[in-house]
Amino acid sequence: MSSRHWLAPLLAIALLLSLPLAGAEQDLIRLSNDIAKELRCPAAINQNLFESEAPIAAELKAQIYQKLQQGEDREQIINFMVQRYGERIRYQPPLTPATMLLWTAPALLVLGCGGLLLLGRRQGDNR
């Protein structure tokens, strides 16, 4: 048998063996994009890494993908980014004692203004 007769079956086997790798590659890309959506772009205002076209966003997206290829998980990558860029890299910062005022300030402001209006109205009625 000539070498040409072996070529087609070898190519078919190579293609079949590469299919699971292609699926795994797609999973890594999907996970990389999901992580990029959770992180804020340091150079863009009000954009996550996934949406940003800033050069640093491209670098960070590549770094996320590379870390996934090296076997790191979502939490390890996010923790690395937080250590490097601070909590503001998170698009949705967690509720912690340090951020509690940021999350509750709007409600406290509305309640305070409402209380002052009621107090002012009551004092006006007493006159």
What residue has token string 């910062």? 93
The single-letter code of the amino acid at 102 is L
Contacts of 92 (CB under 8 A, 6+ apart): 38
Helix H or strand E encompassing 103: helix 100-126
pTM for the model = 0.61
CA gap 57, 85 in Å, rounded: 13
41 burial type by CB count under 10 A (0-12 exposed, 13-18 middle, 19+ buried): buried
Task: Tell me the per-residue pLDDT of 58-117, one tens digit each, with 9 for 90 and over.
Answer: 999 999 999 999 999 999 999 999 999 998 899 877 777 777 777 788 888 888 888 888
Q: What residues form DSSP beta bridges with 90?
A: 39
Cβ atoms < 10 Å from Cβ of 32: 23
Task: Tell me the per-residue pLDDT of 20-39, one tens digit each, with 9 for 90 and over.
Answer: 556 678 888 999 999 999 99
Distances (CA, A) of 99 to 9, 20, 87, 95: 61, 43, 10, 6
Superfamily of domain 3-94: Cytochrome C biogenesis protein (1.10.8.640)
